[in-house]
Amino acid sequence: MSSTLGSAERPLRIGVVGSGPGGFYAVEALFKTKLTISVDMFDRLPAPFGLVRYGVAPDHPKIKNVIKVYEKDALDPRFSLFGNVHIGRDVQVSELKKFYDAIIFACGAETDKHLGIPNEDLSGSHTATEFVGWYNGHPDYQNRTFDLSHPVAVVIGLGNVAMDVARILAKTVDELNATDITQHALSVLAQSKVKEVHIIGRRGPVQSAFTPAEIKEFHELATATPVVKAEDLKLNEASQKELANIKHPVRKKNFEILQKYAAATEAPKEKKIIFHFLKSPVEIKGNGKVEKIVLEKNVLSGEAEHQNASGTKVFEEIACGNIFRSVGYRGVEIPGVPFDNKKGTFANQEGRLTADGKVVSGLYASGWIKRGPTGIIGTNKVDSEETVHHLLADIAQLTPCEFPQRASLEEFLKKKSIRYINYQDWQKINSVELERGKPLGKPREKFTSTAEMIACLNK
């Protein structure tokens, strides 16, 4: 008879796909179990930490301190990293199943929602993902170009990603050069002629998705002033109710900051960050590249907490050179994994993957690919704990995998000529990046391609 999964004779083998917060919090939760366990984590990039490395704004370094927590688990002898292994491309899920009793997908939400308006993809109209990935050194986005020679840029969306994009566009190089933004991005931003950043929200100030800390920063910028029209802060009855809802104290704080901006009397600085509420983008115009965005004025209707925006057939245009669409993310499908096309997540019930509503044994999800792109980094801790709780409760029903030895997986990857990156390799890449940053007065200078990272290991 085979040994019980999780015993000293037959450790529980778990594969985690994705090395961002959803993946690392799952590992943390798994390591709290008394079972004998070993975990392999995969990432398609050689560098771990996903969103923390490639999504968090470079001028928000404190948020990245969470890496120290993840590193504790990465150095645990029960853990191994397999970076530079693309699950779904280099290795199929059907192959991966042979090496793990259970797999947790924590591969985030890597692509964008679309606006569905004419000329959405005109040159000069970018997704926030492209811009954020580009300035954060993500290898996928280094071939993007951003011509910032026009004085007006437009950012669509009222979430924190939109605030990050607006702030990076509005900051001076002096405000950014001691961060881990790439030197290439810094040199392009140094030439920027952008003087106005227009932030467009389809609903009102009370329905904004940003948080107070993020909009407060606009007031502290060296050469930019936030601009809010007092008339935009006049609320309908339902919005007044939403503002008074004590379950959402953030709304009140946001609103107070916006009121302060609307009432400001000091002379504006050289650049302006201009908030627009109740306006939806309906068309992008331009001959070969972005020249204008057409906005339709909206009204809100519906009960408090369920208000929707609808168009009024009143239009306005903003002449601009760049548009950054920051209206939320979606997960990317992996062959062999059930996908919920409506939500843009892997179909799941509290982290157990499901196909046609039925639980699929041995497959789980955590983080944004489980619940969608919401919450702060810490939200993924509770989310991953729920998934791991279910996984551990399912142990008796799991089908033990065929090749539970880590060495078998390593052999399999080598046979496929996959140059995987383990955590020690990453530590070397990391230390070279830190060294590269020193002469520039930066915390690190990132490698921006897989080839560079691998070359640094061969030295």
The residue among 209 and 360 lying less far from ligand NAP, judged by its C-beta, is 209
The residue among 230 and 376 lying less far from ligand NAP, judged by its C-beta, is 376
Q: How far apart are CA 179 and CA 186, in angstroms?
A: 10
From 214, 296, 383, 445, residue interacting with ligand NAP (rule: CB under 6 A):
214
Q: Does residue number 282 form part of the binding site for ligand NAP (CB under 6 A)?
A: no
Q: Is the distance from CB of 150 to CB of 321 less than 8 angstroms?
A: yes
Q: Does residue number 161 form part of the binding site for ligand NAP (CB under 6 A)?
A: yes
Q: Does residue number 301 form part of the binding site for ligand NAP (CB under 6 A)?
A: no
Q: Does residue number 338 form part of the binding site for ligand NAP (CB under 6 A)?
A: no
Q: Does residue number 155 form part of the binding site for ligand NAP (CB under 6 A)?
A: no
- Structure token pair of residue 364: 């789980």
- The residue of the chain with the least Cβ separation from ligand NAP equals 159
Q: How far is CA 397 from CA 70, 323, 327, in A?
A: 29, 50, 40
Q: How far apart are CA 289 and CA 291, in angstroms?
A: 6
Place of tokens 């990245």: 64
Closest CA to 194 of 229, 228, 146, 227: 146
The residue among 6 and 159 lying less far from ligand NAP, judged by its C-beta, is 159
- The span of 27-35, 42-50, 67-75, 200-208 binding ligand NAP (CB under 6 A) equals 200-208
Give the total residue count for the chain.
459
Backbone angles phi, psi at 14, to 5 degrees: -120, 135
Q: Which of residues 341-380 bind ligand NAP (CB under 6 A)?
A: 373-376
Report CA 428 to chain centroid distance, whole Å.
25
Q: Which of residues 222-281 bind ligand NAP (CB under 6 A)?
A: 280
- The span of 172-180, 264-272, 323-331, 390-398 binding ligand NAP (CB under 6 A) equals 323-331
From 156, 165, 318, 347, residue interacting with ligand NAP (rule: CB under 6 A):
156
The residue among 281 and 286 lying less far from ligand NAP, judged by its C-beta, is 281
For residue 237, the surrounding DSSP H or E stretch is helix 237-244
SS3 of residue 368 by DSSP: helix
Can you say whether the dihedral through the CA atoms of 157, 159, 165, 166 is positive or negative? positive
The residue among 101 and 110 lying less far from ligand NAP, judged by its C-beta, is 110
Q: Does residue number 209 form part of the binding site for ligand NAP (CB under 6 A)?
A: yes
Where along the sequence are the contacts to ligand NAP (CB under 6 A)? Answer: 115, 156-162, 164, 201-203, 207, 209, 214, 280, 326-329, 373-376
